[in-house]
Structure 1
Amino acid sequence: MKLCPRGHANSRNAEICAECGSRDLSTPQPRTPLWAPVIEYLLKLVPGLFLAIASVVTLAAGIEAVRENPALQFALVKLLILLGILWWLWSELPAWFRNAIARMLKRRREQGGGKGRHS
């Protein structure tokens, strides 16, 4: 999508604004590769499933271990803190993944030396 100085939205291949006729249009954002959303989805899904299963198993094992030996409470707390940190990292994944894709596309565009389609 391209924008004119007045903020009117136009298609990627527009040469002039359809509403006001301005030729001063913004440069559209680079196209996202088709595989990027699939990879992002898998990178969110797989660690999430792993963390969910690990959390349930840890909780069940922790309850059983504390019932048998109360001295294991400290080890359980350390494991739960580690799982908490992993959950936090997983929740942050989409932001840094998008930034990594943007950096990769920028590097490719700079190394290409202006090759490719510009719309």
Structure 2
Amino acid sequence: MNMRQEFTEEQKKLLTPILDYEVDTKGKMSYDNRIWDDKLLVGKEKMVMMFLTGNYSYQYGVSFITMDNLKYILECNTEGEVRNCLNKLERKGYIKQDKVLDRDIFYIKRYIVPEEVYYQE
């Protein structure tokens, strides 16, 4: 599977206009069921991975889920709780976090459903 390289500063500037709406999700969420069997993912990490991979944009090669959405999904009261979980996932090598104009984006390193499977009708 092709993984996109990290965005350059110039690419981030071009990416900025699309951050305010969903890209190529087609209203469905697709994730790899192997997430649930991964023994290295503990607590809410499995749920975070499911939603990060489910909101992955094949067009841009990153997940655009918002921190507010993650707080709601995980029933967390503070952003710190979510950040703690995301930092653990990054240390374990599942994701890489970045920001584009104060908006979080996530490079997913494992469990992306192949693009051809995602786009099957």
| Bin of the TM-score, shorter chain as denominator length | under 0.3
TM-score normalised by the chain length of structure 1: 0.22
Higher helix share: 1
| Higher RCO structure, 1 or 2 (CA under 8 Å, sep 6+) | 2
Higher strand share: 2
TM-score normalised by the chain length of structure 2: 0.22
